[in-house]
């Protein structure tokens, strides 16, 4: 398991649409281990492969509470089958947009289809933080960031700030 460097806004890789996996082999298992390690190190509660520069449709999530045992979940080729009309609002952040948080409204409950590391298809219902986290991460697979849901003015401010910072880093 290796901790990988995170891709930070405004890296254009974050806007790429990730490609699905055809087979679940050892390299896919290894990638999921690296992603889990990187997520815990950050620390974060979710990570998409594209955030470590690999535009493939995989995400890892752990929404367990601090006093609970770690419970990482791996979702390969995830797809939202159903979304509730009921909405919920969470303050979201993103490991690719460090130290920026904003409230985002999304469907409160979703049904998601995905492949597990066992290569089998699973269909799960999710609600609460898990539902929000899944939608945030699945957005990453389509090149969408949570700042796309805030006002244009705020979004442009955030992008400007990160563009300046990236020039200083370079
Ligand atoms: Ni994110």
- pLDDT-derived band at 21, boundaries 50, 70, 90: very high
Q: What pLDDT, on the 0 to 100 scale, is given for residue 139?
A: 98
Is residue 1's pLDDT more than 90?
no
pLDDT tens for 25-67 read: 999 999 999 999 999 999 999 999 999 999 999 999 999 998 9
CB atoms near residue 70 (< 10 Å): 8
Distance CA 2, CA 40 (A): 11
Is residue 169's pLDDT more than 80?
no
Q: What pLDDT, on the 0 to 100 scale, is given for residue 66?
A: 85
Is the separation of the CB atoms in 103 and 89 below 8 Å? yes
The closest of 115, 111, 104, 139 to 125, measured between CA atoms, is 111
**How far apart are the CA of 5 and the centre of ligand 1, in A?**
14
Q: What pLDDT, on the 0 to 100 scale, is given for residue 27?
A: 97
pLDDT tens for 111-163 read: 999 999 999 999 999 999 999 999 999 999 999 999 999 999 999 999 999 99
Is the separation of the CB atoms in 1 and 33 below 8 Å? yes
Provide the residue count of the chain.
170
Task: Give how far Cα 167 sits from Cα of 5, 33, 60, 100, Å.
Answer: 18, 31, 30, 18
The pTM assigned to this predicted structure is: 0.96
**How far apart are the CA of 12 and the centre of ligand 1, in A?**
14
Per the annotation, the verdict on 22 as an active-site residue is no
**Taking residues 89-102, what's their average pLDDT?**
98
**CATH 1.10.600.10 is right for the domain spanning 12-169:** no
DSSP output for 49-101 = GGGGT--BSEEEE----TTSPP--EEEEEEEEEEE-S-EEEEEEEETTEEEEE
Task: Give how far Cα 61 sits from Cα of 26, 46, 96, 158, 163, Å.
Answer: 20, 4, 15, 25, 28
**How far apart are the CA of 163 and the centre of ligand 1, in A?**
17
Task: Give how far Cα 19 sits from Cα of 7, 108, 141, 142, Å.
Answer: 17, 27, 8, 9
pLDDT tens for 62-81 read: 999 989 999 999 999 999 99
């Amino acid at each position: 398991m290796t901790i990988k460097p995170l891709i930070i806004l405004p890296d254009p890789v974050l806007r790429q649409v990730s490609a699905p996996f055809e087979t679940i082999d050892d390299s896919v298992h290894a990638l999921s281990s690296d992603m889990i390690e990187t997520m815990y190190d950050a620390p974060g509660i979710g990570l998409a492969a594209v955030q470590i520069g690999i535009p493939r449709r995989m995400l890892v999530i752990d929404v367990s509470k601090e006093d609970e045992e770690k419970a990482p979940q791996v979702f390969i080729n995830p797809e939202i089958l159903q979304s509730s009309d009921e909405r919920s609002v969470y303050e979201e952040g993103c490991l690719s947009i460090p130290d920026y948080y904003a409230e985002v409204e999304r469907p409160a409950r979703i049904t998601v289809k995905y492949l597990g590391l066992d290569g089998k298809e699973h269909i799960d219902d999710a609600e609460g933080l898990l539902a929000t986290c899944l939608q945030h991460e699945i957005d990453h697979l389509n090149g969408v960031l949570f700042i796309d849901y805030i006002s244009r003015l705020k979004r442009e401010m955030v992008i400007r700030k990160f563009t300046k910072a990236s020039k200083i880093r370079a």
